[in-house]
Amino acid sequence: MSLFIFSSCAVLNDLDQAATLQDYSREQDALTAMVKKRDKKFAEFLDHIRSGGANLPDLKDRSALLRYLGEPVLITAIEERGVKKERWLYRYQKPTKDSPKAYFVVNQKGGVDYWFTTGPPRFEIPSITDVSENNSRP
């Protein structure tokens, strides 16, 4: 009788491990789908730039960025001319050495002051109020 109980416990233990592996597999599938979706959005953004900026969406504020490109890869607190801002980084989720990046500088009110890209293709859109000061940007 004890052998039967021992073997049934082993079976239950194996079922727990199998269920854990299935959960892990589902999580990996979900992460892979999220990476593909984010990379697709970033690739579409770069395609708009490659076409000379035609059909670029109006990325004028935080909510437009989140709607169009999703969550940034990194948000860095910066200060420009004594004003606190955030620099949002977008790139492919698994970047290579020379892969393109897009930086958006977001002010305290949530508006995008300006943005620029590094790597191919390079592109910069100055803000209306900042046109004369293009050279002072990072």
Which range, 13-17, 25-29, 46-50, 66-70, has the best average confidence (pLDDT)?
Answer: 66-70
Q: What is the mean pLDDT of residues 120-129?
A: 52
The whole-chain average pLDDT of the chain stands at: 79
**Least trusted range by pLDDT, from 11-15, 50-54, 68-72, 96-100:** 11-15
3-state secondary structure of 79: strand
Nearest alpha carbon to residue 129 among 60, 79, 76, 63: 60
3-state secondary structure of 108: coil
pLDDT at position 134: 38
pLDDT at position 45: 87
Q: What is the mean pLDDT of residues 102-106?
A: 94
Backbone angles phi, psi at 77, to 5 degrees: -75, 130
Q: What is the DSSP string of 31-45?
A: HHHHHHHHHHHHHHH
pLDDT at position 113: 93
Whole-model pTM: value is 0.68
pLDDT in tens, 23-60: 778 888 888 888 899 899 998 888 888 777 667 778 89
Beta-carbon contacts of 9 under 8 Å, excluding residues fewer than 6 positions away, are: none
